[in-house]
Amino acid sequence: MGGTAELYPFVPLLSSRERKDFLVFIFRRMVIMERVMDVSKLVFTKARGGRFRWLTISTLMLAIGMLLHLVSPSVAGFTPNWMIACYVVAILLTKPSYKQCLGICMVAALMEVFTSKSAFPYGDFASEFFGAYVAGFFAHSVPPIKIGKFSLRPAIAGFITTCVSGFTFVAILTVVMGIPMKVFLYGMLPAVAMVGIGNGIITPFLYFPALRLFKSMHYMAESDVEDSDHSGLVLEQSQEGVISVEHLTYTYPFAKEPALKDVSMAAEKVDFIVVTGPNGAGKTTLLMSMAGAIPHYYGGTMKGMVFTGGKAVTQHTIADLASSIGVILSDYKAQIVTLTVGEEMAFTLENHGFPPDEIRRRSKEALAKVHLDGLEERKVSTLSGGQCQRLVVAAVLAEEPQVLVFDEPTSALDPEGIREFYEMVGELNQKEGLTVIVAEHHLEATLPYAKKFVLMNKGKIVSQGTPEEVMRDMKKNHIYEEAIPDMYRAQLELEDWGVSFEKPFLNIRDAEQSVVDSFKEGGRENA
């Protein structure tokens, strides 16, 4: 009991019964939680991709449904209910939870209120409530009914959902408007059945093209494989560092070959790591795995583990990991969502629930770190490309992460912009103590700041170490030689002729000094 009291000082304050219950709880946790000793064999599958893909697909389908509703002509007095057909397609494709199904259908009902010509449009809220659960039932509980390779589930789901929703609507309308029962039985119900038949016909014509489209965009899973759950596992990183990638193998949905193959690396506090390699080497995939976007957003199959800030990425959401790691994409302008600098700085912090004083303090400090202080009132549209990038960095810094990850940040910058960018990032690394990880092709600009290079090729790390060591491997193994800076390439070629230098040519000053020293030591014959 003494050991327990040391770990949990409140235990002596509990009653005898409470103490017993607490110990039973601790024991169960110890028994239930499974400790994984070898993460290299641990597999995590995210079959349906990103957490919010259901929302994306549903939004697109509802927009299509609204457009079709507005332009569709009546045939013999009947018009298919395109909104029902479209939300049935969305639910069948994404298989959201019943709560999410309800949300989809309430949005559909709201859209119908503004576009409906019926006498009682607000009845759509009640009718779509039942429609949501019918569609969800077909998505989760009804297996595919096939004739050959053709699935009948979209047609049946479209018909039954429309009939249930339609029956609910006309029943409410009958009560509210005082419609005679004969009209209800012999007029309205047959009309509902006709619309249901129409929806049973059109739903497959919407479903199968949408399925092909979203599969081509990797928005859909190839199968109904359930997502993995690592919540009951005890996972501990085996490498020191704020980022630990351990035996990571990752395959995107629909891909035949892994994008990453048994990748292991670690980033220690205040490291400045440059990840380089030819296009398609796996650089972006590696960086996205550090941020938790892989596997949570992209889906697919992950073997091994990534620890960010001591957290296993499969046991935490992207939002949880954002407190430890900040990500700046190559298309950094896509991360800007507001009109002014001040609003952009406040946007994420407000969503996290920070009070106004804390938001102002963090915003001011972060803007100063990227040399944008005093620009809170500036419109984002008036900023240069480099300033926009600095604004995105500042917005990330305001969340006070330990690690900054940049995915090819200089692809759209000119040489002067590249130099200024790395001066800024170098300051954040050296003065603010932030760990920096950059995927980069322009290695020359990184040399004054980089402490470690990681060379990737065909999904593997083929070399990692000091910049000098990795660039020697690049030349020796003929891997991405074109990225070696001209200055260091000259040193390697001179060394091939037998000239030796004390310092590597990592900057102009060192290169000049090394050449001078070589002349002094070896004379003209050596130099």
Is residue 325, in this structure, part of any structural domain at all?
no
Decide if 401 contacts 432 (C-beta within 8 A).
Answer: no
Q: How confident is the model at residue 23 (pLDDT cuts 50, 70, 90)?
A: low
The answer to whether 250 and 294 have CB atoms below 8 angstroms apart is: yes
Q: How far apart are CA 135 and CA 238, in angstroms?
A: 46
Q: What is the model's pLDDT at position 519?
A: 63
Mean pLDDT of all residues in 303-308: 93
Same domain, 78 and 158: yes
CA–CA distance, 371 with 171 (Å, rounded to integer): 65
pLDDT given for residue 307 in this prediction:
93
- Our count of domains for the chain comes to 3
Residue 73: inside a domain: yes
Six token digits for residue 325: 């790691």
CATH of the domain at 97: 1.10.1760.20
pLDDT digits (tens, 9 = 90+) for 321-371: 888 899 988 888 888 888 899 999 998 888 888 899 999 999 999 999 999
Mean pLDDT of 73-89: 78
Q: Residue 22 is part of which domain span?
A: 2-32
Helix, strand or coil for residue 243? strand
Round to whole Å and give the CA distance between 420 and 423.
Answer: 5
> How many residues does the structure list for the chain?
527
Global pTM reads 0.69
| Same-domain status, 20 and 73 | no
* In a shared domain, residues 145 and 62: yes
First to last CA, the chain: 75
Residue 119 confidence (pLDDT): 56
Q: What Å distances lie between residue 517 and 491, 503, 511, 525, CA to CA? A: 14, 10, 10, 13
Confidence of residue 521 (pLDDT cuts 50, 70, 90): low
d(CA 484, CA 103): 53
pLDDT band at 17 (very low <50, low <70, confident <90, very high): low
pLDDT at 124 exceeding the cut of 70: yes
The confidence band for 8, taking pLDDT boundaries of 50, 70 and 90, is very low
Which amino acid appears at position 74 of this protein? S
User: 66 falls in which pLDDT band (50, 70, 90)?
Assistant: confident
pLDDT of residue 6: 47
pLDDT of 353: 83
Do 13 and 67 share a domain, yes or no? no
Say whether both 89 and 143 belong to one domain: yes
pLDDT tens-place string over residues 215-245: 776 666 544 456 777 877 888 888 888 999 9
Taking only the tens place, the pLDDT of each residue in 383-405 is 888 889 899 999 999 988 999 99
**Mean per-residue pLDDT for 45-55?**
64
- 10 and 78 inside one domain: no
Q: Tell me the C-alpha distance between 92 and 151, whole Å.
A: 12
- Do residues 259 and 250 make contact, with C-beta atoms less than 8 angstroms apart? yes
Does the residue 268 lie in any domain? no
% pLDDT > 90, the chain = 28
Are 160 and 16 members of one domain?
A: no
Residues 60, 209, single domain; the answer is yes
Q: Which of 183, 216, 249 is at the close of a domain? A: 216
Residues 100 and 145 in one domain: yes
In a domain, 353, yes or no: no
Q: Which of 77-81, 221-225, 402-406, 483-487 has the lowest mean pLDDT?
A: 221-225
Q: Taking a C-beta distance cutoff of 8 angstroms, is the pair 466, 472 a contact? A: no
In this model, does residue 527 exceed pLDDT 50?
A: no
What is the rounded CA–CA span in Å between residue 289 and residue 283? 10
204 within a domain of the structure (yes/no): yes
Task: Calculate the average pLDDT of the chain.
Answer: 82
Helices (H) and strands (E) in the chain, counts: 19, 15
pLDDT at 287 over 90: yes
Give, in order, the Cα–Cα distances in Å from 366 to each of 120, 269, 381, 388, 389: 53, 20, 20, 14, 13
Q: Which of 332, 189, 192, 246 lies closest to 36 in space, CA to CA?
A: 246
- The residue-averaged pLDDT of 51-56 equals 67
Whether 210 and 122 share a structural domain = yes
3-state helix, strand, coil in the chain (%, to 5): 55, 15, 30
pLDDT, average across residues 457-480: 93
CB atoms within 10 A of CB 132: 27
Of the CA atoms within 13 Å of residue 356, those in its CB half-sphere come to: 0
309 is a domain residue:
no
Q: Is residue 514 part of a domain?
A: yes
Which residues sit opposite 244 in a β-bridge? 266, 307
Domain contains 300:
no
Which of 199, 216, 233 is a domain's end point?
Answer: 216
- Residues 77 and 192 grouped into a single domain: yes
Q: Cis peptide leading into 121, omega within 30 of 0?
A: no
Residue bearing the bigger pLDDT, 510 or 310:
310
Residues 63 and 195 in one domain: yes
Q: Which residues pair with 188 in a beta bridge?
A: none
